Amino acid sequence: MMTGQHGSQPIQHQFNPYSDNGGTLLGIAGEDFAILASDTRQSVDYSINTRLSHKIKAISPSLTAEFKAQNPKMIGTKNSILFGTNGFSADGDALTRQFEENWKWYVHDQNKSAMSMQSAARNVQHLLYGKRFFPYYVHTIICGLDEEGKGCLYSFDPVGSYEREQCRVGGAGASLIMPFLDNQVNFKNQYIPGTNSTERRKVDYLSLDECLKLVKDAFTSVTERHITVGDGLEIFIIDKNGVRCEYHDLKKD
Amino acid sequence: MSQQDPSTINGGIVVAMTGKDCVAIACDLRLGSQSLGVANNFEKIYQYGKVFIGFTGLATDALTLSSDLKYKHNLYKLKENRGIQPEVFANLISSTLYEKRFGPYFSTPVVAGLNEKTGEPYVAGFDCIGCIDAARDFIVAGTASDQLFGMCEALYEPNLEPEDLFETISQALLNAADRDAISGWGAAVYMITKDKVTKTYLKTRQD
């Protein structure tokens, strides 16, 4: 083999198993509800693959005819788990399908109606860490209700490190939205007026309407400034009545 | 030491916003050497007459640039016998930066001031080779610029009174800095109105 001269090196081809599909995923846990939202754009580099991709799946026990009749707009029961992934969407889809299969076998084998949030979270950790040396390139957030009926959210890094939190943003817009959520959900840097910054504003649960406003504000803001975020906003809401999904348009430029 | 990005060695942020007959400009106070904190009193905003400029990026270049502009501002005053307007200063900065097109200062300045003739608030930002970004709302710069963009885009509204603009810019700066490991360690906010300039130090997290 010749070396040193320009153009004399053999051309090397390398397969890159990953790509970045952009987008943003956002979850907030309330007192008796949880919401998980994402934009619906899927892109690679500067190209848009689709304006309506789904990064969140509601994994739910099958709906009875009675439930459907009573709640025509609900797409899942209160035992559901909202499963969201963001990053490399092929890995996200693979992880979602794998978790859904685990969930189905679990309720079948254990003869249960659903899986608890903490069990789901631990299972997701095992799925992610199982591929420690060829990771799923995703930021994962799952939402649901815990065993007391309280809003519950777990977020994961690509290799399965996880934590239960009140709110979390993942993906391309995370660095833009996360400080906003610190400020507006956990009231960071907010003090009681007149106390000379000695008394912090007490953290309290936000209502569902307040949370939905924050989510819409966060996504319209990040859509303005980030090129891979936009097109549509899909918001999944889980509470004691079940799961429902809202869609709102975002800017398509 | 391996190759590093000069504009993120020292850390730090600057943000400027326009309001109703007022402008605000704010900075953090940290000077660092990568993860090591070196000083917590490193102010990044300088005053030139009635124009205020914040310098982010490589501290040595920011300092050099601030001195060079002080010299040029003095010459301007001697030649013209009048104060410099923020629009003019923005163009002066732009040409100063572009002179070093192929060996740039690793600093991204932010200008804030009121036009003395019209009373119009003016803010502008630059890249390190002098491209002017004269936004009508806000300008962000520094190692937490992503975080600042998110905060400003969500909190900002046009035509705020000075008191409300102060709160907005302070919250934007504080919460953005708290999500950046190399920004923070104190903060200073300048509020500029037609007949008054106030400077306020903010109480911040010290980690």
What are the chain B neighbours of A195 within 8 Å (beta carbons)?
none
B96-B121-A224 Cα angle (round to 5): 85
For A218, the token pair is: 């966060």
End-to-end CA distance of chain A: 50
Q: Is residue A69 part of a domain?
A: yes
CA–CA dist A142, A146 (Å, integer): 12
Residues of B with Cβ-Cβ distance to A177 under 8 angstroms: 150
Hey, which residues does B53 pair with through a beta bridge?
Answer: B46, B111
B150/A179 touch (CB, cutoff 8 Å), yes or no = yes
Q: How many residues does chain B have?
A: 207
Residue from the list A188, A190, A221 with its beta carbon closest to the beta carbon of B154: A221
Output the pLDDT for position A121. Answer: 98
Q: In 10 A of CB B69, how many CB atoms? A: 21
Strand partners, B202: B187
Give every residue of chain A whose pLDDT is below 50, as ranges: 1
Contacting residues for A244 by C-beta, under 8 A, at least 6 apart = A73, A74, A75, A236, A237
Helix axes A89-109, A117-129, angle to 10 degrees: 130
pLDDT at residue B3, as a whole number: 77
Which residues, given as ranges, of chain B have pLDDT below 50? Answer: none
Task: Say how many domains are in chain A.
Answer: 1
Set of chain A residues whose Cβ sits within 8 Å of the Cβ of B171: 183, 189-190
Q: What is the pLDDT of residue A3?
A: 52
CA A155 → CA A78, A159, A165, A253, B19, distances in Å? 20, 11, 7, 30, 38
Burial A154-163 (b: 16+ CB within 10 A, else e): bbbebebebe
In a domain, residue A198? The reply is: no
Examine residue A245 and state whether it is found in any structural domain, yes or no. yes
Q: Is residue A159 part of a domain?
A: yes
pLDDT of residue A210: 98
Q: What is the CATH number of the domain that holds A152?
A: 3.60.20.10
What are the Cα distances from residue B17, in Å, to B21, B110, B174, B203?
11, 10, 15, 20
Angle (deg, nearest 10), helices B86-98 and B59-80: 130
Contact yes or no for A178 and B179 at CB 8 A: yes
Q: Please answer whether residues A55 and A173 qualify as being in contact, where contact means their C-beta atoms are separated by less than 8 angstroms.
A: no
User: Cβ–Cβ of A221/B175 closer than 8 Å?
Assistant: no
Pick from B146, B179, B203: CB nearest A182: B179
Contact at 8 Å (CB) between A24 and A55? no
Q: Which domain holds residue A123?
A: 24-172+208-249
Residue A93 and residue A75: Cα distance in Å, rounded?
A: 19
Please answer yes or no on whether B178 and A182 come within 8 Å at the CB atom: yes
- Beta-ladder partners of B17: B24, B138
Interface of A with B (CB under 8 A): 173, 175-180, 182-183, 188-190, 197, 217-218, 221-222, 224-225
Q: Which residues of B touch A217 (CB under 8 A)?
A: 154
Q: Which of B147, B157, B167, B201 best tests the A interface by mutation, with the highest count of A CBs <10 A?
A: B147
Task: Taking each helix axis as running N to C, give the angle between helix B162-178 and helix B145-155, from 0 to 180 degrees, rounded to the nearest 10.
Answer: 140
Query: Nearest 5°: phi and psi at A121?
Result: -60, -45
Distance CA B9, CA A252 (A): 37
Task: Say if residues B66 and B55 touch (Cβ distance below 8 Å).
Answer: yes
Residue in chain B lying closest to A197 (CA): B203
Contact: B150, A197; criterion CB under 8 Å: no
B181 φ/ψ sector (left φ>0, alpha ψ -120 to 50, else beta): alpha
- Which pLDDT score is estimated for A8? 81
CB-CB neighbours of A218 under 10 Å: 26
User: Would you say B140 and B13 are in contact if contact means Cβ atoms under 8 Å apart?
Assistant: yes
pLDDT digits (tens, 9 = 90+) for B129-187: 999 999 999 999 999 999 999 999 999 999 999 999 999 999 999 999 999 999 999 99
A15 part of a folded domain: no
- A218·B171 Cβ contact <8 A: no
Q: Do A189 and B171 touch (CB under 8 A)?
A: yes
CB of B73 closer than 8 Å to CB of B84 = yes
Contact present, B190 and B52 (Cβ < 8 Å): yes
Classify domain B13-195 by CATH number: 3.60.20.10
Q: State how far the Cα of B192 lies from the Cα of B188, in Å rounded to an integer.
A: 13
Mutation target to probe the A interface, by most A beta carbons within 10 A, among B175, B180, B189 is B175
**Is B171 in Cβ contact with A183 (below 8 Å)?**
yes
